[in-house]
């Protein structure tokens, strides 16, 4: 009998992309990466992953590649770990009669303007917002909202293009730049509108939902404005009962209102007093190594669950009693233009901290790095576990400060920095 295929449409460049392929193999399927440029994913060559070069933005070319593969071996599932291709994968799964979310719902969800309107109409709490297509409209929206506002693209991930604007000039400048872009960071066409929204100052969280079940609530750490770089996560979040319930209830309501309810959804929220307001719903697994934290803290393998769901197999989200209980990650970012020195020694120092289970740099010694504007500016991470979130958070913070950060050496501001990693 021919081994079934799991088709992976593009991938994320960091985090879970490699794990999708590994889980497929564990479940007896052959992972096949469909990509316009497989070289952008180093793990593909390192792991001997089967790849097919195809223009994944061309529906006809992609369908021809898929049907060609299906003629030689049964296709058992289609997925993408990339924010930019989840709707494409969902559409292919539907055409093949395979499990997956509604492609229309995923496509609408990826448009943050359409998502906001749908949630607001359903009575799900969101920040006040306006969708604009001109700089003058952005300025007017900011005046209507009052105070600092967040201006951001209606598509994208990893805080790319998201910025706090404190006055008219900042709104105009950032909106002008976003509206002038005709393609995004993946070379895909942009819709020509941006979001101007109320700036919420409450704590930020995410609720990881699978199907219509909340698996865990994550406490998120975000760097200083005007950018919103995620600098760490703690699993599980520690909250008063009323706030914890509000976050879970709002997240699940949002998923249902958007017509999702299949597989993973990463719901980002901020507390506004005791009200949980949805910042955005992502119809995919979380990034930022959150699935790895959930696996270590709860024993729930969300990557494996997503692959199982795509293959039509039973998914078990039961917490394992032998899991650590809590897990935290902290990302290294540079406070000023810097160069990475002895990364091996810094990693070793981080790993020596009790509770640390992983420490890694994303770039080699000698690389020049700048302060982060989005997730691409993060240069390394540490992960720690413990019996409680406070314990894992303390270990991760100590390892970051005394370990990884020791590799950053400030350099003159006019020294060129290494290009950001691709998305």
Flag whether pLDDT at 186 surpasses 90: no
Residue 284 is a catalytic residue: yes
CA distances from 275 to 209, 214, 249, 256, 419 (A): 19, 18, 11, 19, 40
Average pLDDT over residues 46-68: 96
What band does 181 get if pLDDT is binned at 50, 70 and 90?
A: confident
Residue entry with tokens 């030689």: 72
The 10s digit of each residue's pLDDT in 286-330 is: 999 999 999 999 999 999 999 999 999 999 999 999 999 999 999
CA dihedral of residues 87, 90, 96, 97 (deg, nearest 10): -140
Residue pLDDT, tens place only, 205-219:
999 999 999 999 999
Whether the predicted pLDDT of 158 surpasses 70: no
**Lowest model confidence (mean pLDDT) among 14-28, 42-56, 206-220:** 14-28
The alpha carbon of 409 is separated from its chain's Cα centroid by a whole number of angstroms, namely 29
Kindly name the residue from 116, 253, 284, 308 that is annotated as catalytic: 284
pLDDT of 417 > 70? The answer is no
| Residue 416 binned pLDDT confidence (cut-offs 50, 70, 90) | low
How many CB atoms lie under 10 A from the CB of residue 48? 8
Exposed, middle or buried: residue 288 (CB in 10 Å: 0-12, 13-18, 19+)? buried
């Amino acid at each position: 009998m021919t081994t079934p295929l799991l088709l992976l449409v593009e991938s994320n460049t960091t985090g879970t992309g490699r794990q999708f392929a590994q889980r497929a193999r564990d479940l007896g399927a052959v992972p096949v990466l469909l990509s316009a440029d497989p070289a952008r994913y180093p793990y593909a060559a390192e792991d001997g992953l089967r790849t097919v070069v195809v223009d994944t933005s061309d529906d006809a070319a992609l369908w021809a590649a898929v049907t060609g593969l299906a003629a030689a071996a049964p296709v058992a599932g289609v997925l993408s770990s990339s924010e930019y291709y989840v709707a494409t994968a969902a559409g292919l799964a539907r055409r093949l009669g395979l499990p997956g979310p509604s492609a229309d719902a995923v496509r609408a969800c990826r448009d943050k303007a359409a998502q906001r309107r749908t949630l607001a109409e359903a009575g799900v709490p969101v920040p006040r917002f306006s969708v604009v297509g001109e700089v003058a409209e952005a300025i007017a929206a900011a005046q209507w909202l009052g105070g600092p506002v967040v201006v951001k693209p209606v598509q994208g991930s990893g805080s790319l293009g998201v910025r706090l604007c404190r006055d008219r000039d900042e709104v105009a400048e950032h909106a002008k730049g976003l509206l002038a872009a005709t393609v995004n960071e993946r070379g895909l066409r942009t819709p020509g509108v941006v979001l101007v929204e109320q700036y919420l100052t409450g704590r930020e969280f995410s609720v990881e939902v699978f199907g219509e079940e909340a698996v865990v609530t994550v406490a998120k750490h975000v760097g200083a404005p005007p950018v919103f770089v995620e600098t760490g996560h703690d699993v599980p979040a520690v909250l008063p009962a009323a706030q914890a319930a509000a976050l879970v209830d709002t997240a699940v309501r949002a998923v249902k209102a958007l017509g999702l309810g299949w597989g993973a959804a990463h719901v980002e929220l901020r507390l506004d007093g005791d009200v949980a307001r949805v910042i955005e719903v992502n119809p995919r697994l979380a990034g930022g190594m959150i699935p790895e934290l959930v696996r270590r803290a709860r024993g729930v393998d969300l990557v494996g669950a997503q692959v199982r769901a795509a293959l039509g197999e039973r998914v078990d989200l039961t917490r394992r009693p032998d899991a650590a209980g809590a897990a935290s990650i902290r990302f290294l970012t540079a406070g000023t233009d810097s160069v990475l020195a002895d990364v091996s020694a810094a990693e070793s120092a981080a790993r020596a901290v009790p509770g640390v289970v992983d420490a890694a740099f994303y770039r080699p010694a000698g690389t020049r790095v700048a302060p982060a504007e989005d997730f691409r500016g993060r240069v390394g991470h540490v992960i720690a576990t413990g019996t409680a979130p406070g314990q894992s958070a303390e270990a991760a913070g100590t390892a970051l400060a005394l370990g990884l950060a020791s590799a950053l050496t400030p350099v003159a501001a006019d020294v060129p920095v290494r290009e950001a990693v691709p998305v």
